[in-house]
Amino acid sequence: MKAYPPSIANLIQAFSKFPGIGPRSAERMVFYLLKSEPQESHRMADLIVRVKEHTFFCSQCFNLSEAKLCHICTDENRNPEELLVVEDPKDVIAFEKAGTFRGYYHVLLGSLSPQEGIGPDEIRLKELLQRVDKGTIKEVILGTSARSEGEATVLYISELMKNRPVTVTRIARGVSVGHTLEFTDQATLARALEGRHAVKS
Ligand SMILES: [Zn+2]
């Protein structure tokens, strides 16, 4: 990379920071920009700035949103008695693509991981409890991953719900072993949701 002028070398280095993008891909991205029309790089730069300035976490469910409440939380045609708990906004997108869930979501923005020092206060559990304690929700569906962190999160939430008047179910296992939900195909995800079982009634 030393052979490149600084403006190119710096951009290659910047693109290399994206997940899954190595120096060679970063190099190809820079050359794509060099070959394209000037307005193309302006457009890209604008989009990058925009995504940070205009995207927030929904104040209710912590899904990504351009407004205080996301498009799912403001959709009144959904079932307020069902709440699907996931780890990441990407999981909401996966379930929405599967298309069978008609309740609301709660995004934890992580999962419990004692090894990594992620405890209950680091993820959106307090906010989950506040929503459940409003009394409308009848079923909390755990759509967390089957990784050990997801497992710890399931146990913790089941414990939290113990004396609360809600059913806690969990999506069928086997769908996300070794994978995050985003890589699970839509039909499998729909089946996993359909095949959910009670962990606390
Ligand atoms: Zn929301």
User: For residue 177, is pLDDT > 50?
Assistant: no
Give the Cα separation of 146 and 150 in Å (integer).
5
Comparing CA positions, the residue from 73, 80, 153 lying closest to residue 116 is: 153
Contact (CB, 8 A) for 181 and 86: yes
**Structural domain range at position 181:** 77-200
Selected residue with higher pLDDT from 92 and 173:
92
Name the least confident of 7-11, 120-124, 137-141, 173-177.
173-177
Ligand 1 center to residue 8 CA distance, Å?
Answer: 40
Number of separate domains in the chain: 2
CATH number of the domain that 36 lies in?
Answer: 1.10.8.420
| Residue 71 lies inside a defined structural domain of this protein | no
Q: What is the mean pLDDT of residues 125-146?
A: 94
Q: What's the 165 CA to ligand 1 centre distance in angstroms? A: 23
For residue 153, give the CATH number of its domain: 3.40.1360.10
- Partner residues linked to 169 by β-bridges: 141, 198
Residue 12 shares a structural domain with residue 108: no
In this predicted model, which residue has the larger pLDDT, 182 or 120? 120
- Looking at the chain, how many residues does it have? 201
Same domain, 47 and 102: no
Mean pLDDT, rounded, for 45-73: 95
At CA 154, angle to CA 148 and CA 155, rounded to 5? Answer: 95
- Ligand 1 centroid distance, CA of 199 (Å): 25
